[in-house]
Structures are given as structure tokens and as C-alpha cells.
Chain A
């Protein structure tokens, strides 16, 4: 009897006295969907833009096509501070709610800031329990604030649009998909250098509005941004990394050099094979690709073995050029091992690696890289002959 009463008392006290110490009602939090970090005009300070969702504006919003979408769905709050968390806490001076990071999907860092090194920025995202490491990491060509405050025609929350753009970039394979976790992984590796997504505002010719566009990838050396890859160079990078999922390769028609033929990539894979002979490292990149004939503009029948072979060769050449161009930049110009060559060597030659590791940065630009492309054309789609007008 007494025991029971004491037990009940303990349970009641245990629940009630603890209190609701970490309770926060939904109307007391400011849900952040994206954040952008730039250098502040004040010396040594950061300027952070938070894209905060306004649920009241989204109430009953039907995601119907363009036009109904307004910029009202979010509120961009800019705050400055010496670190990110400093800026975030400073932001509460302007916001009626406490910033809530876990639903944040997009982290954009301005180009200028990224060139100075982003380790101090990433630390907060890695250390604090609130932000997720699955957020996409993008480097803005220009200012991050412009990206955060940009509208999108289709959705009320622009961060959603950026996320979907990154996710669907596999349709072209001309962008990279890097989240903070992956970036940290490459950053921690002794030899590999990290990459991040690249985003910029481009001019829309029709209505003079600016709009967001993924335009390739950004390349780091250690934690410092060294340069950007354009879209074809990015696909070259993806060829090496084996991350090409789909996309279109344009080649000149073998029968008419002025006309283009579009070839669709169905599947692709790659192999990085390192070889050490006489202290000279040679790396062979084997790329296998299969594709379909997706679109042809001239009404010339291409469906015969000979032209197919010709198309395959031309396709292989395009792939080779793309790979070559990225190698040129990353290896020769920047000396950034974004391909994971170091890891490949490490795996195959663990003994030699011990000596190579310390001087890998010097060795990397001198590596002899051979590219082997095996491109196949499988199918012609639903029609075998081209569409012909009489």
C-alpha cells in the first residue's frame, strides 16, 4: 500500500516537475526553408539570410500552376553576426519567433565567402543538433542573398524549387548533388577535395526577370573555393565519378555535318584503374555508356549498322572531350583531386600509398590519365525511319 503510493507519487512528480522544458508550439517557431551566407560589409562579419516559411500565407494554398504562386509564402530575414549562430540569435531581435532549423533544406554560400574557406561556416551545421546534414550545399556565383530572396513561379517556397531542381538534375547529369554530409566526408579525406552544387541568377530574356538556375558545379581545394565547372565540364566530372544517370548527347549527323542528332543516355558506368610503374602513376578511366537514338532533325535514315557505328564513335568522342575538359581544369589548373584518384591508388597500392600520401598534392597534377570510352547505341525509339514530309 505504502509502496504503491510512493511509486505513484514518484511517477507523478517525475512527469510534472520536469515540466515541458523543451516544448515549443508550432506558432512559436519560424521554420527556415533555406539560408544564405555572405560576407557582410562590416569587417569580419557574416551576413546570413534566412528564408522563413509563413504558414498563415500558405493556408489553403492550392499548388495550382503559375500565377497563383506569390512571393508571400516566405519571408527573407537578413541578420549579421560574427558567426552563423551569432547571426541566428541576432535574427530573433527582428523575428517574433525562434528560428527553427531542422526543416532547412538549402544552404547557399556566396562566392566571395567561399573563396576564403568555408570550414568555419560548416562547423555550426555539423555541430548543432538542429540543422540537418542532409541539406543541400550550394555555392552561389555572386551573392547568396540573391538566391535566397529569389522567387519561383511554380511554388510558394523557393527552397522547394531549388531542392527539386537538384533532385531532377539527373535528367541531364549536368549538375552535382552534394549535401553537407557528403561535403564533410570529402573535406575530411586527406587527399580528395570536395565539390558542391553551383547556382546562379540568370537573366530571363522574355520578361527581364531574373531566375535561379543550376549551372554546373563548384570545386574546392581543401575548404577553399577555387573555381566553377560549367555544365559540360560537370558532366565530364560525373562521367568519371560514375554518377551519370541520364542526359542527352548532341553529335553531328554522319550524313549531314550541319545537322544535330540527339542521343539519350540510358545507363553509364565508370572504373578508375590506377597503375604504378617505375614510380610513375598512370590512371585509366574506363567509361561504359549505352544510349538510344532520341531525336534526329534531318530526314535522313540513320538506321543502318554503318551509321550506327559512326554515331557511337562520335558519341564516344563527345564524352571523351567532356572528361578531358574537366581533367584539364581540375588537375592541371587547380590541382584539386575531386575525382577520388587518391582513394583509388590507396585501395590498390596501400604500401606505396604511405609515401605517396604526404606528397599527393604535388604528384596529382603530374599523373598521366588515359580515357577509354565504350559508347554503345542500342535502340532507335518507337520509330525506325525518320518522319518525312511528302
Chain B
């Protein structure tokens, strides 16, 4: 047995080494442009062969000195009207009627076009062939001129985008409705509109060998911990994946404990939430093509804090937060406790309750454990079916689910009514803490299994195991259970209760050591005092 493990282990290590060696050979080699226009054209046509969405347009610039040129762009990624009006028109018509035409010669064309002709805002010069191809593929238009080994890259992007709409996840009663979109620029603009501060930095990266996805690291300089920002950059630059289709890909490549079932990277669809997290010193990672923005470090406690806690008054917000903790424990432990109490510790139930449960369980065919497992799995199936199905069919599924599982199973005597109550209570509770509801499912079924084998002892063993695991987790260097374990007394006030905003005059110590002070320590509103001061 052990020998077999050793063999497996050795095999594992050697394959890792091979991967590393392969990695080193795939470095970028420089590929400069040629000054011959025709050569560039054939080369680029070769690269884009059999790509029907690539548009080439050859033309001439100038009336006295005629210079051959062509543009390349991807149809559908550029605004054709802008290409016509702002690029082609200015090069082929406006230039002829302006006095620049006279100054034009073979040497200064590029300069004149860049500096004096193009009225567009985003224009850059690129010498590398590979780079030009990348720009064209991201939606820029490339202009090649005869005699220059440089291409002008013009931003005339324009494609179909989704509007800024309220996201389906993270619905709020009070608070901004807008959500991020799939377009990276829209997302960054939403953040910029929240935080009008030059210290808000957007550092751009391209990740994914095939997809070349734009990724932006956003943070507030001076508040975010430099070390964490560096660590985020380091981890992102190490990603050598083929494709980044969603921020989930990035999450899985940069998380601290990929083998843990608990998430150590947070995500949000809402600019106000991401802005608030950045203002506490976290780093956001925006990915092109998805509205889900990652935030790191991500702590366990964040699942229990919602944006609305801070938008509404603190009293009810605190009660709701305590409710969330209760609901979390119910959703994790309720079925396991039910199984443990009814199969091992009947003496712990109040007599009347025991009799009621016993009456309901009378004549049911399965032991409580099987009931709990079956109901738990059926619920997961219903949930999955409900998400994926088209809306009209989804309704039918929920009716069948509610009727068959809820009513008929009980009245047919297949399943005890208390189990149905426990499972539905659990299901509802798990959505109170929606962001970690998927990990709750795993924990719930594990606890049911342990309770079935060992009763309350099993639950305690499981709880000790999970707690040890959670304490050992780190998210970008920050302990996962902080500020509860280890205790950070200053940050603890915003864990179980939500204090007044004027009481939270310091930023959380966990993410940053610099610039801790948010505001003056005592800003409690006191209108009476202010009035007397005015007089």
C-alpha cells in the first residue's frame, strides 16, 4: 500500500518538473514590422487567413506625394461609422484640403498623421508585429503606411454591450441598483464614479494565452497594503492558462487553498460593494467579459456583512446580522442535529416534542439518516433544476417538487413530516447567507453523515475538524477567521453587531497598516450643540 503511494508521489513530482521545463521554452520572441507595406500586408493576411471578420482596406494618402497605406480591423469590434468619418475621411479628404498636404513627404507622413491629422484621442505607435495583432484582436484599428516599420493603433472600438442593469444576485431594498457589466471599461468607469480620487489605481494586465483577456487590478493607493497588491500582481502574472472566460478562472488560479471547500476569494456584481471593500484596503480584480469582480483578501465574516447593513440604521441592521449567524448555524446543523437527537439522544428532547416526532415517524420505512440524506439530495436536485430550467418549466418543477416532496411523501407515509420541516427550514436559512450557500450544502451533508454514525459526538468531531481547518486558512496572508480568530479587538465591533458609522472611525487593521484613520473619532451628530455654536 505504502509503496504504491510512494510510486504515485514520485510520478506526480516528475510530471510537475516536466511542466516547468516546457514553461520556460514558451517565451515571446520579438518580431519587428517591416518598412515594406506589401510585406506587412502579406504577413498580416497570412496571420488572419480564413478569418472572415477581418477587414483590410488599402488606399493612398496625399495628393502631391502619394503614400500607400492600409488599415486592418475586426468587423464587429469597431464602430464602422467612426472608421469612415474620423479615420478614412480625415486621411483621404480632410488632409487634401488642408495645408498639411503640401508638407507631406516620405519621411514625415507618420508624424504628421499622428500629430496633426487624426482627431481621435487614443492613438499610439507600435513596432512589434505580434503586438499589432493583439491590438487588432482587442478591437483597435491598425494603420500601416508605406516606408514605415511602425503601425498607428487607433481606438475606434464599438460593439454590442449590455446596459448597466440591476444584478440578479445581491438584490437590495435600499442602495444603488446598478451592477457591473461584461465590458471592462464600463466597470472601471462605475468604480471611478464612486471613488473620485487620483489614488484609485487601475493596473492593466493581459491573461490567457488564447483569449488574451484584459484584467484590471484596482486598489486605492495609500489605503491598500502594498504587500497585498504586489502579491496579487505576482499571482496573476504566474497564471499561464489557456483561457480566462470568467473571473472564476482567475479565482481558481490565485486562491490560497485550492483544496479547501471554502472560498478565499470574494466576488461581487455591485460597484458600491466593491468600492466599499477597496476603501477598507482590499484589492479588486476586474475581468473583461464578466460582471463579477473579485475582491481579496476575502474573510469568512464578509459573508455575513451586506451593503445594506451600512445603508440602513444600525439597530435593525445589528439584529439582522445576528439573525444571519443564527440562520447559518441552522442551515449547517439542523438536519444533523435532528438525526442525532432522534436516533441517539432521545432523552435530550422535551417529552411532548419527542412524542410528536415519534408519532410522525411511526410507520415510515427509512431510518432518520436515510430520510435526511434523501431529502437533502432531493432538495439539491430541485434547486439545480430550478436554476437551469426556462422560467415556464421551472414553475412546473417547483409545483411538482413542493407537492410531491412536501405533501404526498408525508401523506403516503414515506417520509416523516418533521424531516420535511427541517429540510425546508434549512433550505430557507441557507439563502440568508447566500454568498456561501454552496459550501453550506457540503458541510450540511457531511454533518448528517457524521451524526448518523456517531450522534452528537460526530457533530462535535466534525465541528472541531472544520474549525481547525478554517483557522488554518489564509487569504492573501490574512487569517480567514479574523477578526474572531485571531482576535483583533478594534475590528471585532463590526462582526456580530453593526456599530454607528461615526463609531467606526478607523479602517480594519487586517488589510492595511497605513492610513488607518477614516475620520475624526467622535462625529456623533448633535444638532443641539451645533445650534448654540452658531449663535
Cβ-defined contact, B347 with A102, below 8 A:
yes
Which of A11, A53, A55, A58 has the most CB atoms of chain B within a 10 A radius of its CB?
Answer: A55
Q: A22-B344, A31-B354, A103-B351 are in contact. Are A15 and B455 (CB under 8 A)?
A: no
Cβ-defined contact, A103 with B347, below 8 A:
yes
12 residue pairs A–B, Cβ–Cβ below 8 Å = A1-B5, A2-B6, A5-B5, A15-B453, A23-B344, A26-B343, A26-B357, A31-B346, A56-B359, A56-B362, A58-B356, A60-B359
B326-371: which have CB < 8 Å to A? 342-344, 346-347, 351, 354-364, 367-368
A52-111: which have CB < 8 Å to B? 53, 55-56, 58-60, 100, 102-103, 105
Which of B5, B8, B346, B358 has the most CB atoms of chain A within a 10 A radius of its CB?
Answer: B358
Looking at chain A, what size class is its interface with the partner chain? 20 to 34
Give Cα A102 to B351, complex, Å: 9
Contacts of B452 in A (CB 8 A): 20, 23
By a beta-carbon cutoff of 8 Å, the part of chain B in contact with chain A is: 2, 5-6, 8-9, 12, 342-344, 346-347, 351, 354-364, 367-368, 449-450, 452-455, 458, 465
Q: Residue A16 at the B interface, CB < 8 A? A: yes
Q: Residue A208 at the B interface, CB < 8 A? A: no
Tell me whether chain B's interface is mostly helix, strand or loop, or mixed: helix
Give Cα A2 to B368, complex, Å: 36
Give Cα A188 to B423, complex, Å: 49
Q: Residue A29 at the B interface, CB < 8 A? A: yes
Contacts of A44 in B (CB 8 A): none
Cβ-defined contact, B9 with A31, below 8 A:
no
Contacts of B346 in A (CB 8 A): 24, 26, 29, 31, 100, 102-103
* Minimum Cβ distance to chain B for residue A180 (Å): 15
Which of chain A's residues has its CB closest to B13's CB? A1
* Minimum Cβ distance to chain B for residue A156 (Å): 9
* Minimum Cβ distance to chain A for residue B336 (Å): 13
Contacts of A132 in B (CB 8 A): 347
Q: Residue A389 at the B interface, CB < 8 A? A: no
Within 8 Å by CB of B354, from A27, A60, A103, A105, lies A103
Which of chain B's residues has its CB closest to A157's CB? B355
Cβ-defined contact, B362 with A27, below 8 A:
yes
Give Cα A27 to B413, complex, Å: 13
Give Cα A102 to B363, complex, Å: 23
Cβ-defined contact, A1 with B362, below 8 A:
no
Give Cα A103 to B358, complex, Å: 13
Within 8 Å by CB of B361, from A18, A26, A33, A130, lies A26
Q: Residue A25 at the B interface, CB < 8 A? A: yes
Which of chain A's residues has its CB closest to B357's CB? A26
Q: Residue A381 at the B interface, CB < 8 A? A: no
A3-25: which have CB < 8 Å to B? 5, 11, 15-16, 18-20, 22-25
By a beta-carbon cutoff of 8 Å, the part of chain A in contact with chain B is: 1-2, 5, 11, 15-16, 18-20, 22-27, 29, 31, 33, 53, 55-56, 58-60, 100, 102-103, 105, 130, 132, 157
* Minimum Cβ distance to chain A for residue B137 (Å): 41
Q: Which 6 A-B pairs have the closest CB atoms?
A: A102-B347, A55-B358, A55-B359, A59-B359, A56-B362, A26-B358
* Minimum Cβ distance to chain B for residue A214 (Å): 20
Which of chain B's residues has its CB closest to A16's CB? B453
Which of chain B's residues has its CB closest to A11's CB? B465
Contacts of B5 in A (CB 8 A): 1-2, 5
Cβ-defined contact, A22 with B360, below 8 A:
no
* Minimum Cβ distance to chain B for residue A143 (Å): 26
Contacts of A27 in B (CB 8 A): 358, 361-364
Cβ-defined contact, B368 with A25, below 8 A:
yes
Cβ-defined contact, A55 with B355, below 8 A:
yes
Contacts of A59 in B (CB 8 A): 359-360, 362
Within 8 Å by CB of B343, from A1, A2, A25, lies A25
Cβ-defined contact, B458 with A26, below 8 A:
no
Cβ-defined contact, B351 with A105, below 8 A:
yes
Q: A15-B454, A19-B453, A103-B346 are in contact. Are A25 and B367 (CB under 8 A)?
A: yes
Contacts of B359 in A (CB 8 A): 55-56, 58-60
Which of chain B's residues has its CB closest to A102's CB? B347
Contacts of A31 in B (CB 8 A): 346, 351, 354-355, 358
Contacts of B6 in A (CB 8 A): 2
Within 8 Å by CB of B363, from A1, A16, A24, A56, lies A56
Q: A1-B12, A55-B359 are in contact. Are A18 and B351 (CB under 8 A)?
A: no
Give Cα A103 to B354, complex, Å: 9
Contacts of A5 in B (CB 8 A): 5
* Minimum Cβ distance to chain B for residue A291 (Å): 36
Cβ-defined contact, B453 with A25, below 8 A:
no
* Minimum Cβ distance to chain A for residue B418 (Å): 10
Contacts of A11 in B (CB 8 A): 465
Cβ-defined contact, A58 with B355, below 8 A:
yes
Which of chain A's residues has its CB closest to B340's CB? A23
